[in-house]
């Protein structure tokens, strides 16, 4: 686990405006950083231009500002970090920790996740073929401590679980970029949704391959809609109404199980955040999705 001054972050993807579930995650990470007198950063995970909308970045930043959640340092855009990602991928391939893969999803499914082209052995000829780059995992029963969920045990299976770190279209993948930027930005604590819990063991191996320690993790329950689906842009979750930030913050605090006594919605946003910081208790978060 990384030591040193607390550094946390919120890293949305600009595929649409923030929704209530995004606000809950942003607020939890912000309050945790503030309660530790730490630094809180905002990072744009703009890795997939095919899914992103040009106005989404401005919408997201405007929503965060309206709710008093402003980054302590300049906003990082992952789309501007491609040369560093490529250097890391080249290094991992050279070290034998990543490999080029020409297999289609259909081929992998038909072979129970194993590579019929022996990509993992480095024997595939990629000339003229589109290929992804995958990180080569090691068989492991990963054990790590989550600040909210307690000790976690996640089995990792070499080859069948190997994550893509660069897609066939050339886009850099989340599993690489999130680790690369958390290392580069010296992130010590990550507060994020429990929908990313299953990716943690893979990310721990990527940290080790890059000679870095993983951060302290805290995975909070995701917010769900009436159908039990995670609130998301794909599920058409409504955008935040930035004209009522105090109401939104109080609703988010309620979703996080925090103490709302003496917090009427007529309070200014900064007063709500200050009081919420002083009262922040992650142990009050219920371990069920809402």
Domains of the chain (ranges; CATH) run: 7-94+145-154+178-284 (3.40.50.620)
Residue-wise pLDDT for 48-79, tens only, equals 988 888 799 999 999 999 999 999 999 999 99
φ and ψ at residue 21, rounded to 5 degrees = -60, -40
pLDDT of residue 234: 63
Model pTM score: 0.93
Spatial separation of the C-alpha atoms in residues 147 and 8, rounded to whole Å: 14
pLDDT of residue 229: 58
Distances (CA, A) of 193 to 57, 114, 190, 247: 20, 30, 10, 22
The whole-number average pLDDT for the span 88-104 is: 95
Contact 152, 144 (CB under 8 A): yes
Per-residue pLDDT band at 290 (split at 50, 70, 90) = very low
Residue 254, Cβ neighbours under 10 Å: how many?
13
* Residue 2 DSSP one-character state: -
pLDDT of residue 90: 97
């Amino acid at each position: 686990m990384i030591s040193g001054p607390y550094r946390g972050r919120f890293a949305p993807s600009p595929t649409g405006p923030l929704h209530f579930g995004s606000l809950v995650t942003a607020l939890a990470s912000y309050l945790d950083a503030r309660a530790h007198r730490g630094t809180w950063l905002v990072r744009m995970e703009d890795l997939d231009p095919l899914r992103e909308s040009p106005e989404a970045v401005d919408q997201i930043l405007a929503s965060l500002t309206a709710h008093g959640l402003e980054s302590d340092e300049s906003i990082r855009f992952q789309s501007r970090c491609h040369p560093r990602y490529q250097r890391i991928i080249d290094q991992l391939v050279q070290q034998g920790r990543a490999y080029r893969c020409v297999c289609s999803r259909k081929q992998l499914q038909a072979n129970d996740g194993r590579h019929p082209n022996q990509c993992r052995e480095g024997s595939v000829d990629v000339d003229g073929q589109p290929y992804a780059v995958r990180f080569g995992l090691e068989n492991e029963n990963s054990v790590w401590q989550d600040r909210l969920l307690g000790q976690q045990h996640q089995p990792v299976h070499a080859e069948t679980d190997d994550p893509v770190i660069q897609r066939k279209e050339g886009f850099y993948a989340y599993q690489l970029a999130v680790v690369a930027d958390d290392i580069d930005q010296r992130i010590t604590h990550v507060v994020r949704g429990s929908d990313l819990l299953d990716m943690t063991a893979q990310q721990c191996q990527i940290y080790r391959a890059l000679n870095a320690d993983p951060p302290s993790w805290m995975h909070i329950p995701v917010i769900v809609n009436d159908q039990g689906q995670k609130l998301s842009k794909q599920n058409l979750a409504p955008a935040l109404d930035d004209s009522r930030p105090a109401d939104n913050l109080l609703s988010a605090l309620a979703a996080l199980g925090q103490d709302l006594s003496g917090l009427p919605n007529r309070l200014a946003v900064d007063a709500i955040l200050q009081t919420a910081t002083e009262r922040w208790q992650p142990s009050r978060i219920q371990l069920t999705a809402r």
